Amino acid sequence: MDDLTLFPTSNWRRQALVAALMFASAAIAPGQTETILHVFQAGSDGYYPETYPLVLDSAGNLYGTTNYGGGGNCAFQEAYSGCGMIYQLTPPAEAGGAWTEHIVWQFQGGTDGAIPGGLLLRDGKLYGAAGTGGSGACSGGCGYIFELMPPATAGGSWTKTSLYDFPTLDSECGITAADAAGNFYGVGPSANDNGSVCQIVPPRGAPSGPEGSWSERTLYTFKGVPRGQKFGDGSGPLGVTLDAHGNLWGATVYGGYCQLFQGGSCFGTIFHLTPPSAPGGDWTESVAYRFSNLDQNPTSGVAIDKTGALYGVTYVETYKFSGGSRTVISSFSDIPPGAYAPTGGVVLDGAGNVYGTTGAGGQYGYGTVYKLTAPAYSQTILHSFAAGTDGWNPEGPMILGPGGALYGTTQIGGNQGCQFGFGGIGCGTVFEIVQ
């Protein structure tokens, strides 16, 4: 049978929240402090922060994106208006003070585009991809890669430069990694609907700058599972991560192994791309692991520790992949107050502990932040979201800051300013958890 189509529109990055049914137990950690750093207000402030990690600079500023609000006349659905925005949150001068939001960029539609994806930080500049805009052949443009230069003085305006316009919808590339030479790597759609791994190449090897021409290269296009077969190379890549040797690792949400009966579900893969031995050569793809109906499907890309081990999540578990084998290091229960529906991937600290979020479950049923303490990976719930002013559904990945602080976003909650048809109230939040 054919794999499911993952990228039907330019907003191909979004994944559905799926509940997991798995028995487990978790301790509730005392003494954890959760602080809401910002509550989105819709309008020019944006709303509904998407499923991308925040970015932290050396001064302690946080950066992120919202798909909607901000500015412009974009109206993707009746409930969603605005073209999206990029924001900066500056920490207080004294402990306990309020963080300050600064608008980095409000997308205006047209050639300026809309639907910003995740961000990368390099030499003080922000890089990312817009889902629409630019000069491509699509109606409204096919999206583009941009650079944002910070102002020379505090409080000034950022300067945005378009580096590369995607010529077609199939050429979109949502960047998730960068190497020392200034190349960006990511994943995107493909003409066969199975997705691809892409590379954005700077001019003449320079890390950045408007001079010269940036270019794009497709490193691999997934073939999926051939009709009538059980095994394939995967479909629907969820981002890529570079290891210490320049290899790319990632997971696909579909493909890999398909049941020929019982509905014909396909369960995803862990894949590996090896760079060519000489510049300009072909990258080599291999399937490192095929998930089964017991594992369920990956819902995130992978994180890599200093030993080269991979970590990620599926609908029902957190796993570790090392030495060619996969180990379930935590599973999730739908029995209150258990956490369930892990969707945001994981982040690792220097001691090998693993942190993640679930979109549901916890003491109040609105999602959790959990910790898996190495080496036994015992599960502890660090925070249960309570909706209302506390936020709801922390679906995006977290990042780890100085002193072990965790930073992330909730897609909804925080205030009464946004009401969504599925019952969610609030425009979303940015939160910090201090252990």
**Confidence band, pLDDT 50/70/90 cuts, at residue 17:** very low
Could you state, in order of their start, the residue ranges of all structural domains in the chain? 27-92+172-434
E strand intervals along 96-230:
100-106, 114-122, 125-132, 144-149, 159-165, 174-178, 184-188, 196-201, 215-221
What is the pLDDT confidence band of residue 2, given thresholds at 50, 70 and 90? very low
Q: How far apart are alpha carbons 76 and 96 in whole angstroms?
A: 39
3-state SS, residue 174: strand
> How many C-beta atoms lie closer than 10 Å to residue 244's C-beta?
9
Cα distances from 242 to residues 59, 237, 301, 371, in angstroms, run: 25, 15, 11, 24
Amino acid of residue 390? D
* Minimum mean pLDDT range among 120-124, 223-227, 309-313, 364-368: 223-227
Q: Which residue has the higher pLDDT, 37 or 13?
A: 37
Nearest alpha carbon to residue 52 among 42, 67, 38: 67
User: What was the pLDDT predicted at 107?
Assistant: 94
Q: Look at residue 24 in the predicted model and tell me its pLDDT.
A: 34
Between 41 and 329, the higher pLDDT residue? 329
Confidence of residue 82 (pLDDT cuts 50, 70, 90): confident
Task: Tell me which long-range contacts 183-190 makes (C-beta under 8 A, separation of at least 24).
Answer: 184/120, 184/127, 184/145, 185/219, 185/240, 185/242, 185/248, 186/129, 186/239, 186/240, 187/237, 187/238, 187/239, 187/240, 187/250, 188/7, 188/12, 189/6, 189/7, 189/12, 190/7, 190/218, 190/221, 190/222
Q: Does 27-92+172-434 carry CATH code 2.130.10?
A: yes
First and final C-alpha spacing in the chain: 48
pLDDT digits (tens, 9 = 90+) for 205-240: 455 544 569 999 999 999 998 887 889 999 999 999
Give the pLDDT confidence of 298-308 residue by residue, as tens digits. Answer: 999 999 999 99
- Rounded average pLDDT over 154-179: 94
- Across the range 382-407, mean pLDDT stands at 91
Can you list the alpha helix ranges (DSSP code H) found in 327-374? none
Over the stretch 52-66, which tens digit does the pLDDT of each residue have? 999 999 999 999 999
Distances (CA, A) of 93 to 39, 49, 99, 152, 166: 20, 26, 9, 21, 41
Provide the pLDDT confidence category of residue 264 given band limits of 50, 70 and 90: low
For residue 156, give both structure tokens.
């000034």
In single-letter form, the type of residue at position 403 comes to G
Q: Is 161 helix (H, G, I), strand (E, B) or coil?
A: strand
Percent of the chain residues past pLDDT 90, beyond the cut: 65
Structure confidence at residue 385 (pLDDT): 94
Q: Which residues contact 265 (CB under 8 A, 6 or more apart)?
A: 258, 259, 293
Q: Residue 343 has what pLDDT?
A: 85
Burial of 98 (0-12, 13-18, 19+ CB in 10 A): exposed
Beta-carbon neighbour count of residue 122 at 10 Å? 13
Closest CA to 271 of 222, 227, 319: 222
